[in-house]
Chain A
Amino acid sequence: MHLRRLLSCVSLFILMPLAWGVERFPPPEFSTDYRLPRLLLPAFRPEYLAYLDVAVLALALGVAIWLVHTRRRQRGIMFLLLFSILYFGFYRRGCVCSIGAIQNVALAIFNHDYALPVTVAAFFLLPLATALFAGRVFCAGVCPLGAVQEAVLWRPIKVPAWLEHLLGMLPYLYLGVGVLFAALGTRFFICAYDPFIPLYRLNGPANILIFGGVLLIIGLFVGRPYCRFLCPYGVLLRWVAPLARWKVRITPTTCVQCRLCEDACPYGAIHPPTPPPNPALRHEGKMRLALAIIALPVLLALGGWLGYRGIAPLAYQDPLVIQANALQAQEAGTGSDAAGISRAEKPVAPLYLQAAVQISRYQFGGILFGAWVALVIGGKFIVLSIRRRRLEYEADAAACVGCTRCYQSCPMSAQRTNSATEGTAPPA
């Protein structure tokens, strides 16, 4: 019963932005002969179905692991994607999803009055736990947002490396925004601006719908633009996936450097071998790296200050602070009771305290957010200053979504798969 209440609260909270989008009319303020129809409430979803969703997620993740790492065939992945679109997309209407669950977790961490539902926690943790063992198989075939983009990809073009690096920072910033607003208890930003939810619900704000449509059109030519350049959950998966026990290997045997896989990946997740190191450039590279590391704390302080100055004043747009300010004006005789605060008969002092706490939270949140943005930019610069040595074509474990396209283009992989199908031994 308790869990059911929590689930309904979470659902309401998640749906709040969309409910705002679908405006409701108040009844007229005068009496008429018109009799309002009885309010029809949708039947409550039984509690066990929430656990069924978790079970389906776990099962889908298990199937995805098998398809990506054992079966190594794209056809199976496509069927799994279709299932995800139908179940997690159209049937579950994209909620609860692992991406939105970030905000529930953030809210639970920063607001002790909010209890994180078990099923939401499971949606948040299961894909991460899977990534720890098998990489981003959640993205490969389970995420309904990734699935719809995977489905529309038609003629992928290569995004220039500099642009890939640049846009690759956006998910980190989006994650920061999502966590910030969830922690402040203001709104679930990631859910409110989820581009594909209106598609799955066949309803929603038109601006979000247009946003989703634009992303899908881009997605015809640029592989998974939302996953690569916006998805905040992808950030967490990027952190975990490199630690995976089983990583995607383009060739199961030895890379013959045929370069056939070079164009296979539409997501820019295959890195070619590096040329031999140039001793002449070594010193310059070291100096650049050292300077970047030394400059990082300064950058963090600057970012924190900018965040403080930029975010903290937004507190005055917070409903709680607006209410407290209106009350203060009313008490000082300079404002009216337009907000109906006196009629609400709420104690005054707690409202001021709550508003003061909210202002402080904006200030603290602003500092953290600013520092986070600075860390993302500085960190990216440092990462780009570190040289890595590769002897063969490698899938980037952090960026690879396990679509298995590279398996099809690799002659060694194809030969092994065919041999396995025909029952002969793979080549050494």
Chain B
Amino acid sequence: MMHQTATESYQELLYHTVLRTVLVAACFVLLVSGIISARYLNRQLVDPLQPARIQALRGQLANAANDETLKSQIRQEDVRIRDAYFRYTDFMHEGMWLLLGGMVVVVVGLKTAGQLRRRLPYPPRVDLDDPRVLATYGRRAVLTFGVVLGIGAAGFIIQLGHPQPPLYLTQARQVLQSAAALQHYVPDPHEYAKNWPRFRGPDGTGFLPDVTAPTGWDVATKRGVVWSVEPSLPGKNSPIVWGNRVFISGADEHKRMVYCYDAQRGTALWEKSVEGLSCQDAGTEPLQVMEDTGYAAPTMTTDGRRVYAMFANGDLACFTTDGAPVWAKNMGRPVNTYGHATSLVMYRNRLILQFDQAGVEEHKSALLALDAATGNLVWQTKRPVPNSWSTPIIITEKGRTQIVTCGSPFVIAYDPDSGEECWRVECLGGDVAPSPIFADGLVYAVNTGSNLAAIRPDGQGDVTKSHVSWLAQEGLPDIVSPVSDGHIVLLIGTDGSPTCYDAKTGVKLWTHSYTVPSRATPVIFGRTIYLTDTTGVTHFLTADKVFAEQGTAQVGEPVETTPAYANGRLYIRGKQHLFCIGSR
């Protein structure tokens, strides 16, 4: 009993000691909190980022730039404020530690005191409250809260007023609405085929079997020239046409522009600059490209509602066909020996970009599919090739749609929905610039120093040994893409000389020598081959198994781009002008 009493006395003493410690610690915490709060509230009186006195002195300094006394005052004031600021942060930091220490003592003390006077569970003496009554109280409280909140919100709204919407809002919303309407737009295949929406026409082969294009014009005498315009910036890209609109782009080292012209009269409907896009890997060195390539070599593409343009610095921009900006982004500065030149391609509502860069070992080359409405990446597939200048084509063979690409040393086909590789053939080499074509069930790929290869595009995996129908090595081009009507395949060599092969067998049919080289890829309209040399002279050859030249026409200035055809008219881009050829 005595022992029990001693223990209780000891516990009682301990309890009171702990309680007093807690009391002291609590007073300490309150004191520190009070000092911190006072210091905080006091600090609020001076805004350290907008020191009024310094600003006033700065104002005076503007009128007396050489006043050393004034400068000294500003410096002293600046030092004083900085000193006060860092004293404040140190003070707060130390205060926090003191506060934490005091709180730990309070909490541990209270917990200990609680343990020393532990209350045993005891059933409550009062009867249970009726849950129905409690629920009624709860409902009344909720109702009251709702009403008070509603009145408060109404008061806030009245206080806030109804701000006048900015003037740009209406127009911006119209643009956004039209963009939203275009969100899931996919061009109608028939409408697409009727226009010239990309490099080398709707299917990228440069062959239209059932049209008759103009064959006689002379810019010097204005014969056959409907109109001509002079864009403000140069470009090596070819025109594209949709409906009554012709689009080209132009750029120099500093500026990038997209131009839209009325196809009927040649009047400029709109011109938009592409600027202000940040490029993370641009570095400080100015972008260097080869003069032959220029800053706007990639041909634009359109789906009929939006147009897309890419430039040598990696800027990629999308506008509606009315010129409203939809999206723009920089894809990173292309690491490209001669300058980026691969043209853009559409697949349904996706923009396909073959972005081959640097060397193979740097793993920078990729094929990208972007959402046409937003520019967001849909898929990306790495490519085992170095930088290239070739433009992909989209073909459908035996129900399977594929994106066919060229890059040293492979011709690779991809699934356009997933980006997965379908097949590849190792048949190319060197700097690959010519684009592949597809005619009568065969893909033709070519580059100088390697092969002209005819490939059956129905394989899977590496089909180098199984799906190459034939190879040829004569008259291979280094820039100009081949063209075919399904019966012949025509190549334009480095010197501008055409070489013709039988499309099915690969037997060389004929060759011819020209003295002027060509950079423009030829096209075939009906049975006429349009081959334009670098002086702007277009040779009309018969697409046949024997060489026959029907005549020539010229625009009077150098031409290195591929002509576009739409509604009976040709659109040829020269070094300075864009010409519309046809009848008025």
Contact = CB atoms under 8 A, between A and B. Distances in A.
Given A28-B78, A260-B122, A356-B172, A350 B156 contact: no
A274 interface: yes
Interface stretch (A10-18, A55-63, A64-72, A209-217): A209-217
Interface string A265-296: 00000011011001001000000000000000
B145 A377 contact: yes
A245 interface: no
Given A347-B325, A355-B168, A216 B103 contact: yes
A263 B120 CA distance: 11
A154 B100 contact: no
B100 A210 contact: no
B160 A381 contact: no
A347 B275 contact: yes
B129 A161 contact: yes
A120 B495 CA distance: 61
Given A154-B110, A165-B138, A381 B40 contact: no
B141 A210 contact: no
Interface in A201-227: 202-203, 206-207, 209-210, 213, 216, 220
A165 B142 contact: yes
A330 interface: no
A23 interface: yes
Contacts of B156: 310
B169 A112 contact: no
A44 interface: no
Interface stretch (B85-93, B504-512, B518-526): B85-93
A165 B134 CA distance: 10
Interface string B322-341: 00110010000000000000
A347 B167 CA distance: 18
Contacts of B150: 302, 306
A89 B82 CA distance: 31
Given A166-B145, A262-B124, A350 B93 contact: no
A169 B149 CA distance: 12
Contact of B33 (A203, A213, A260, A274): A213
Interface residues of B, number: 75
Nearest to A219: B107
Given A23-B48, A209-B96, A260 B134 contact: no
A166 B144 CA distance: 9
A206 B138 contact: no
Interface in B254-269: none
Interface in A376-409: 377, 380-381, 384-385, 387, 408-409
Contacts of A261: 121
Contact of A377 (B97, B111, B149): B149
Contact of B166 (A29, A271, A302, A325): A325
Contact of A310 (B71, B124, B153): B153
A152 B160 contact: no
Interface in B545-578: none
Q: Which of A155, A163, A202, A370 has the most CB atoms of chain B within a 10 A radius of its CB?
A: A202
A162 interface: yes
Interface in B34-50: 36-37, 39-40, 48-49
Contact of A162 (B128, B141, B162): B141
Nearest to B153: A306
B161 interface: yes
B132 interface: yes
Given A25-B48, A377-B146, A306 B163 contact: no
B283 interface: no
Interface in A321-353: 321, 324-325, 328, 332, 345-347, 349-350, 352-353
B130 interface: yes
Contacts of B169: 355-356, 359
18 contacts: A22-B89, A28-B78, A29-B58, A30-B74, A32-B75, A162-B138, A166-B138, A166-B141, A206-B37, A260-B122, A263-B121, A271-B131, A278-B132, A310-B156, A332-B167, A357-B176, A377-B145, A387-B135
Interface of B: 33, 36-37, 39-40, 48-49, 58, 71, 74-75, 78, 81-82, 85, 89, 92-93, 96-97, 99-100, 103, 107, 110-111, 114, 121-124, 128-132, 134-135, 137-143, 145-146, 149-150, 153-154, 156-157, 160-163, 165-169, 171-173, 175-176, 273, 275-276, 324-325, 328, 374, 376
Which 4 A-B residue pairs are closest in the complex by CB-CB distance?
Answer: A206-B40, A356-B172, A165-B138, A162-B137
